Structure 1
Amino acid sequence: MRVPLSWLREYVDLPTTETGRDVQAKLVAAGLEVETVEQLGAGLTGPLVVGEVLTIEELEGFKKPIRFCTVDVGTANGTGLPQEIVCGARNFAVGDKVVVVLPGAVLPGDFAIAARKTYGKVSHGMICSSDELGMGSDGDGIIVLPPEYEPGTDAIELLELVDEVLDIAVTPDRGYCLSMRGVARETATAYGLPLRDPALLDVPGPNTEGHPVEVADPFGCDRFTARTVSGLNPEARSPVWLRRRLQKAGMRPISLAVDITNYVMLELGQPLHAYDRSRVQGALGVRRAEPGEKLTTLDGVRRTLDPEDLVITDERGVIGLAGVMGGADTEIADAVPDQETGRVTGTTEVVIEAAHFDPIAIARAARRHKLPSEASKRFERGVDPLAAPAAAQRTVDLLVLLAGGTAGAGVTEVISPSAPHTVAMPAGHPAEVAGVAYDRETVVRRLQQVGCDVYGQDDLVVTVPSWRPDLRAPNDLAEEVIRLEGYENLPSTLPKPPAGRGLTGRQRLHRRIGRALAGAGYTEALNYPFISEQVLDQLALAADDPARRVVTLVNPLSDEEPALRTTLLPGLLGALRRNDGRGSHDLALFETGLVFHPSADQAAAGERLPVDHRPTDEQLAAVTAALPVQPRHAAVVLAGAREQAGWWGKGRPADWADAIEAARLIAHESGAELLVRAGQYGPWHPGRCAELAVVVDGEERVVGHAGELHPRVLKTLGLPARTCAMEIDLDAVEAAGTSAVEAPRIATFPVATQDVALVVDAGVPAADVEAVLREGAGELLESVRLFDVFTGEQLGEGRKSLAYALRFRAPDRTLTVEEASAARDAAVALAAERTGAVLRGA
């Protein structure tokens, strides 16, 4: 909403020293968003006067038409003689009154005017267009003024070229500020000054002599006022002051009748529409559109209407889209001179519509037809329904004054009965909301300044004014009190968090895991939790895999990724592919995040909870049960070199063992024992895939997989060769771990190391042999580590040698050789029994 300061002063007696910046500060403090204060006419100096064109000489021989004019500027030039001016515009004639800038003046943009020779003549000044004076371009060329202004009249004052305009970004709850009346009320309140309400007019009561109106949808239109004016002069033009106010407010002058309806809309906030009465057949009506009905709107577009559209009708059918735009069949006709008689014809009789429409219906219609208008912008934010009669009266008065019309005696009012909205509120409620002490007198005074009627003592009953439909609850009223008392007066108090709270054990574990993986050379890559179901096909998951049961969003950010992820791999592999395509080939990425699985109870997933009261515990429990299961996972992906080559030696590529080691690192940080064995799942290479498991409550549970991805998956996803990955269920690993992480300790007694090399069948997993060695070695075993795997002809077909380093240590003494050897032999014996292992060289 653009608010000229000169117009605002008509309703509020602001101090003469107050500038636009001062008013801006006051309104901002009151809660309005005043974005800018535009300085109109900045740098403009005269002489700038009204001139009368005396003669026009057409200059020949130039590429474009040029005219040499003499203009009477009165005594403004100091001589009283006609001013000689060269001009290229052609929209004026001898006898017209124009705006002339004389030498010595400076136009906006620091454009200094001086006499100069051009086109073989000396031009002493310039005949001005609206664009050259900073009035905006209206496309008409030179400004032609009404004939009543005398030559030499100061045009700066006449055209109100120097002014300040406040540009206010009106929020949806402040629709009343889309009018001078609303902004003036806020200004008067901010300054503590009285308001001259432009809606306080003497309005005649309704009678049966007015233009007939039939409202078939009282919910869509609860008030309709119709007035008529006849005997309009079709040649009447909008006066300068009216055109200038519209221009400053950001609207283009069109014709007198249309300009007046726009002016009253800006003044009172009530959109209006004027119909050419000669084109309206029968009663005006309001109803919903019928399927297939069409309307040609004022913009010349033929539109197919929706059954939810509110429309204005007459006996022929639809003549307007209610609250949005009128129809072309009943628009005000422009003044057109008759070629034979010279008589000017045009609209001489109008019907004025001032109605109140349902905000939701208007908002939907404007969006449905992609037809935003100044009227729809106001209706959808809330228009004062009681302002319609005053707006109609104001329009009638201006048409009578400016167009020489005669007001019709008839006044049509169609009203759906409604009671004022009231809100009950304790007098101390604003103080509780703000944390500041407001006494009852302050609360009542501020609410009365808003326009409310307040009754009661401790428990207030507040009648909300008709122009504030946003005030529906006690908190809305509290906000009004607080903002008028000044947001800047609210104390800044830091919240006091209760002591003893911090990160949960789960949060600390996740942070430890993230630091450990980062320390191991992985880079964290956070991804959106949305996937397409096609990516599950690309990962080669089985048709009955639980990961294929996804939660699909009703309103996804992208139609290509409508589901919530059940695995972290799609996002991580996508990040790896993008970075590899940008030249980063040695990559190690990790992510910890939630995955989503549908819950068993989907019945309550679509249940809508009430918004007018707190849902019951049963409703909340049902909705909670329908939420997806959301375990937290961790995953890594690797490609390229894991160790770089250099002067220190050869590097090595990342392989399946690195992915498994990342899982071991996570298990170590969780204090859990991770079981690693050969496995086969989805995207992993069947011969290079490890199944990861933990023991939870005495039961073994598979929690993830690690290894090298299948070549077919790599090709489908466009990934580098030999890419490796690991994904593990962090919540399950946490459940299998200890609650606290023990710090490493240094033993005080020496270690006894025994190496064994066992020959087993090639199909026996090394993890099984290691588990048996742990069990057989007993309590003295501190650690077991596989340090060599050997195959060769001397072992025989289908055989392999596994070499382990066994470390023995006692907590209370130094072990003897015999004790260490006995423990080793027991471990080997049990391995032989369980796995068929043979001690190499035996």
Structure 2
Amino acid sequence: MQFSENWLRTFVNPSMTSVQLGHALTMAGLEVEEMAPVAPAFDSIVIGEVIEAIKHPDADRLQVCKVNVGKEILQIVCGASNARVGLKVPCALVGAELPGISIKQAKVRGVESFGMLCSAKELGLAAEANGLLELPDDAVAGQDIREYLYLNDYAFTLKLTPNRADCLSILGIARDVTAITGAPLTLPVLNTAKIESTKIQAVNVAAKQACPAYYGRVIESVNAQAKTPDWMIRNLERSGVRSISAIVDITNYVLLELGQPMHAFDLATLNGAINVRFASENEQIKLLNNTDIKLAGDDLVIADNSGAIALAGIMGGEPTSVTDATTAIFLESAFFTPDTIAGKARRLGLSTDSSYRFERGVDFGHTKLALERATDLVLQICGGKAGEISEVVNQLPERVSVTLRYSRLCSVLGITIPKQTVGILLTQLGFKFTENDDIFVIKAPSYRFDIAREEDLIEEIARLHGYDKIPAITPSANLSMLNAPESALSAAWLHDALQAQGYQEIITYSFVDESWERDLLGNANPIKLKNPIASNLSVMRSGLWGGLLDTLTYNINRKQERAMLFEVGSSYHQTPQGFDEQARVAGLFYGAFQPEQWGATSKDVDFYDVKATIEQLTQGNAEYRLETHTALHPGQSARIYLDGNPIGWLGKLHPKWQQHYGLAKNCFLFELEVSPLLQKPVASYFEVPKTLAIRRDLAVIVDVNKPVQEIINAVTNAKIPLVTQVQLFDIYQGKGIPENKKSLALSVLMQDTHKTLVDIEAEAAMAQLLKLLENQFGASLRN
């Protein structure tokens, strides 16, 4: 928010220098990002009136001028083409210091010159100038030019936080200055318009919730070509807004002064009643910036019988805009809810002062007042006859009461502010409240959208009291070691484990492209964002593979032929109760198993290389079941289970996605829930055996589709006496093995902690194990 200090001081004028005012605003939370003088430092420049201008005797392009500077008449040689008798112009006296110029008495082609007539460029007021700076006829010769042009002024630029939409106007900033300094607030004189026109524009609001209040009035017989007053142009330009035409300048002026966006329609171009409604699908409008926009169904528009004529809260339409030929206008002032306008301008590639304010919240209590203010200015500057106000008011936002506990205030701030002082500060803020013992019940005014809870009020008291008045006290507390549960691992363990294996961590957006969710992850109903920051970041991710593959593509395009990536982040899911957020870890392995080296043969990564990573993360307790996933190769994918519960996936990227991403080599992916991985069994004691274990090898034939892990789990869970470990060491299919069968070679370790086993005991245990395999899996002993 940029504004003129002089303009602000017409509302509130505290006994402070410019620097002190800037510091006070910054310390109160309205950070002054820049404070620049509106003109360079110079002096000894006054208003001069040219009373004689004759041609220089020795130069065709020079004139010898007699200039009245108030107390005397000076002879000045001037080369400007617009120097003429009667002209009022800035005149630099001998001894004046301009930007890069020192004015001295001199001879110009033999003629004495005692000063210089100045252009706006020479004063540092413009980058370029075509001649002398011409001043109005009422300028008084001899008056200091800095006083006449109000050049002893600063342009302040505030870096406002999004919650302080109330300070996007001179009035809003003035309110805060009043609250900070206690200086009185002076509002501009508001003259209610005299009704002289019988013309009334009919208004209908179909979108009542999106537009709770709409006011408008007809002003006939206006002079659209009237000149905008210098004081208005000056305030607009020093606020970063260029002058366009009188009527447009007035709407911009009220926008900056009161914070209320407004728009003026050429009445002659309107076709029937005004209707505030949502756009029809694919409806089009041509805006003031000459762009044709195709509207969506959630775009709010101002329409007449011909269709949309303005994009509500953002920009007006070109066909109904005010021109020099306009003789009657319909002036509107409305309140649109922030949710309705938020994100619309950005989606359409627009950025306007109106949308910036409506998105953050505009004072709905001053909507009608702003219309009266703009009407008064139009009648003063452009003339005309005002009609009655057409108004449609529905349910305005309710201002709920917020409770502030005095004890809580002192506790949070760590200091004691007298209760009476708290009441004074709330009053200076314009808050209405009631006080009952330790509690203030406060109702914030219509321009303070950010006051919604007790913490907001504590912040207001703190900033007005002064953050610099709150002492910095070093906290003291007893530090003690907390017991770390033996059954839990820290989240850092997960990162360390993957980094130790060579994976590199990445961090990607939780916002992703909808096509990733639909096609890659098979999520037909992702969580859509109301206000996405980009069209390709429109939904919340339900898995992390999209970001990993996107990062892989980025690296491959930069000649990286091998990648081991992982990410620990959140995934988001819709549930009948609302939304669910889960922490997940996902990884990707692409290219060679080891970096290129002379001492080892290059080998591409395979399924079991990545499975080894899962084994470490699950501490060897994972179970793998052959299941299919839309993103994975149907023959090389597995659902991962832990303690019987599914926790993730592992597999090779599906060939169609490998082709889609242009991957020359195989890519393997995994994704797991984080919380089960951070649980570990508590260590338990067992006696160290004093005797050696006995090993027996067993070869059995089972169905080819029978998972080996299921067989080993069944043996482990059966807890056959003496059997301490069963491992697979070979699989065979081929000659001697029936079709659709496979041979599993298992090593079985048996041990007794108290005595040495004898053969008969070992054979009995092996017989029990074989019977278990026959009964549960139809296994037969291989001959």
Which residue of 66, 75, 82 corresponds with 1:82? 75
Q: Aligned residue for 2:187? A: 197
Q: Aligned residue for 2:155? A: 165
Does the 8 Å CA contact 1:524/1:591 hold for their aligned counterparts?
yes
Does the 8 Å CA contact 2:11/2:186 hold for their aligned counterparts?
yes
Unaligned runs of 5+ in 1: 335-346, 540-546, 600-622
CA distance, structure 1, for counterparts of residue 534 and residue 227 of structure 2: 56
Q: Aligned residue for 2:662? A: 718
Deviation at 1:20, TM superposition (A): 1.8
Does the 8 Å CA contact 2:404/2:442 hold for their aligned counterparts?
no
Q: Aligned residue for 2:362? A: 381
Map residues 478-627 of structure 1 onto 2, 5 A cutoff: 480-489=460-469, 508=489, 512-525=493-506, 548=522, 550-555=524-529, 571-590=547-566, 623-624=576-577, 627=579
TM-score in terms of structure 1 length:
0.66
CA distance, structure 1, for counterparts of residue 731 and residue 141 of structure 2: 110
Does the 8 Å CA contact 2:3/2:155 hold for their aligned counterparts?
yes
- Indicate how the Cα distance of structure 1 residues 96 and 281 shifts in structure 2: closer, same or farther if over 3 A, else same: same
- Indicate how the Cα distance of structure 1 residues 706 and 298 shifts in structure 2: closer, same or farther if over 3 A, else same: closer
Which residue of 23, 26, 31 corresponds with 1:25? 23
Does the 8 Å CA contact 1:678/1:689 hold for their aligned counterparts?
yes
CA distance, structure 2, for counterparts of residue 680 and residue 829 of structure 1: 32
Unaligned runs of 5+ in 2: 206-210
Q: Aligned residue for 2:607? A: 656
- Indicate how the Cα distance of structure 1 residues 751 and 719 shifts in structure 2: closer, same or farther if over 3 A, else same: farther
Map residues 183-582 of structure 1 onto 2, 5 A cutoff: 183-199=173-189, 203=191, 212-213=199-200, 216-217=203-204, 238=229, 243-253=233-243, 287-288=274-275, 309-310=301-302, 356-360=333-337, 381-382=362-363, 384-385=366-367, 387-388=369-370, 391=373, 395=377, 428-429=404-405, 432=408, 435=412, 441-452=420-431, 480-489=460-469, 508=489, 512-525=493-506, 548=522, 550-555=524-529, 571-582=547-558
TM-score in terms of structure 2 length:
0.70
Q: Aligned residue for 1:6? A: 6
CA distance, structure 1, for counterparts of residue 691 and residue 669 of structure 2: 39
- Indicate how the Cα distance of structure 1 residues 784 and 192 shifts in structure 2: closer, same or farther if over 3 A, else same: same
Does the 8 Å CA contact 2:403/2:441 hold for their aligned counterparts?
no
- Indicate how the Cα distance of structure 1 residues 81 and 419 shifts in structure 2: closer, same or farther if over 3 A, else same: same
Deviation at 1:522, TM superposition (A): 3.7
Does the 8 Å CA contact 1:49/1:156 hold for their aligned counterparts?
no
CA distance, structure 2, for counterparts of residue 712 and residue 268 of structure 1: 59
Does the 8 Å CA contact 2:518/2:524 hold for their aligned counterparts?
no
Does the 8 Å CA contact 2:25/2:177 hold for their aligned counterparts?
yes
CA distance, structure 1, for counterparts of residue 625 and residue 40 of structure 2: 82
Deviation at 1:551, TM superposition (A): 3.3
Which residue of 48, 60, 63 corresponds with 1:69? 63
Secondary structure of 1:194 counterpart: coil
Which has the greater radius of gyration?
1
CA distance, structure 1, for counterparts of residue 122 and residue 129 of structure 2: 12
Amino acid aligned to 1:96: L
CA distance, structure 1, for counterparts of residue 522 and residue 226 of structure 2: 75
Root mean square deviation, CA, Å: 6.4
CA distance, structure 2, for counterparts of residue 234 and residue 165 of structure 1: 29
Does the 8 Å CA contact 1:210/1:412 hold for their aligned counterparts?
yes
Q: Aligned residue for 2:119? A: 129
Secondary structure of 1:98 counterpart: strand
Which residue of 677, 681, 686 corresponds with 1:740? 681
CA distance, structure 2, for counterparts of residue 319 and residue 777 of structure 1: 81
Deviation at 1:37, TM superposition (A): 1.0
Which residue of 71, 94, 98 corresponds with 2:89? 98
Deviation at 1:361, TM superposition (A): 10
Amino acid aligned to 2:662: G
- Indicate how the Cα distance of structure 1 residues 331 and 682 shifts in structure 2: closer, same or farther if over 3 A, else same: closer
Deviation at 1:742, TM superposition (A): 2.5
CA distance, structure 2, for counterparts of residue 247 and residue 299 of structure 1: 20
CA distance, structure 2, for counterparts of residue 30 and residue 145 of structure 1: 40
Does the 8 Å CA contact 1:52/1:72 hold for their aligned counterparts?
yes
Q: Aligned residue for 1:639? A: 591
Does the 8 Å CA contact 2:403/2:454 hold for their aligned counterparts?
no
CA distance, structure 2, for counterparts of residue 328 and residue 82 of structure 1: 54
- Indicate how the Cα distance of structure 1 residues 126 and 797 shifts in structure 2: closer, same or farther if over 3 A, else same: farther
CA distance, structure 2, for counterparts of residue 727 and residue 373 of structure 1: 44
- Indicate how the Cα distance of structure 1 residues 568 and 808 shifts in structure 2: closer, same or farther if over 3 A, else same: farther
Amino acid aligned to 2:6: S
Secondary structure of 2:177 counterpart: helix
Deviation at 1:191, TM superposition (A): 2.0
Secondary structure of 2:527 counterpart: coil
CA distance, structure 1, for counterparts of residue 399 and residue 773 of structure 2: 87
Does the 8 Å CA contact 2:267/2:329 hold for their aligned counterparts?
no
CA distance, structure 1, for counterparts of residue 67 and residue 4 of structure 2: 29
Which residue of 137, 140, 144 corresponds with 1:154? 144
- Indicate how the Cα distance of structure 1 residues 297 and 132 shifts in structure 2: closer, same or farther if over 3 A, else same: farther
Deviates more, 1:46-55 or 1:738-747: 738-747
Does the 8 Å CA contact 1:452/1:462 hold for their aligned counterparts?
yes
Deviates more, 1:414-423 or 1:568-577: 414-423
Which digits, 9 at most, give the CA deviation of each residue in 1:167-198, with x for residues without a partner?
23566765654544443343233222233333
CA distance, structure 2, for counterparts of residue 705 and residue 371 of structure 1: 43
Deviation at 1:22, TM superposition (A): 0.9
- Indicate how the Cα distance of structure 1 residues 570 and 197 shifts in structure 2: closer, same or farther if over 3 A, else same: closer
Deviation at 1:374, TM superposition (A): 6.2
Secondary structure of 1:156 counterpart: helix
- Indicate how the Cα distance of structure 1 residues 537 and 564 shifts in structure 2: closer, same or farther if over 3 A, else same: closer
Aligned residues: 755
Does the 8 Å CA contact 2:517/2:524 hold for their aligned counterparts?
no
CA distance, structure 1, for counterparts of residue 356 and residue 240 of structure 2: 14
